[in-house]
Amino acid sequence: AHTPVIFVHGYNADPGVWGGMREDFKASGYTDAELFSWGYDTGQSVNEVLSGRFAAYVDQVRARTGAAEVDVVAHSFGSLVTRWYVKFGGGTATVGHWVSLAGPNHGTSTAWACALWSQACRDMTPGSYVQKHLADGDETPGAVQYATWWSGCDEVINPDSSVPLTGAVNNPAGCLAHNDLLGDDAVSQGVRAFLAR
């Protein structure tokens, strides 16, 4: 049996983006009963709304599976929602491994383009309330194992150096577009190997 995995999509996306990676996980021995894809309204605030909804979902998964801990694999904006839960919502006790694929972990300048109408985009801008609090003190708190994958060709996350976190295993993914990290075989293999540690 494996620790249940919760996949968390990014801004303006949906759980369907994880189809390929879920198949990879199943091919390597995971069952559907161990794989969960959380869907949520990506226009909402990270700290005021979404991290609490994610906390409730983690509790549902733990209740359904009987597992004490879950592993989290997040793409892009999903990294902020899940990190806030880990750092400020009690997630250090319930998350074993936390993975960020192309997460705007220190903000991205491209988020200014949608910040006027989207709270989520404001949360992704460099220096925002969410960014300041996530970066304050320990970026990778607790006994959780943290990893990131970042691309040198990511046009959505600017600068590329926004993704890596102090205290995490930070992995270069080569030259991949922002959403291509979701379907890349080497990234998928790397994530599965990290979760097995």
DSSP string for 33-45: GGEEEE---TTS-
pLDDT at 189: 98
Residues of the chain with pLDDT under 50: none
Contact assessment for residue 179 and residue 149, using Cβ atoms and an 8 Å cutoff: no
pLDDT averaged over every residue in the chain: 98
CATH number at 60 reads 3.40.50.1820
pLDDT at 126: 98
Domain count, the chain: 1
Whole domain around residue 31: which residue ranges? 5-195
pLDDT at 1: 85
Contact assessment for residue 76 and residue 156, using Cβ atoms and an 8 Å cutoff: yes
Give residue-wise pLDDT tens across range 4-41. Answer: 999 999 999 999 999 999 999 999 999 999 999 999 99
Kindly report the pTM of this predicted structure: 0.98
- Integer CA distances (angstroms), 60 to 57, 65, 66, 101, 193, in order: 5, 9, 10, 24, 26
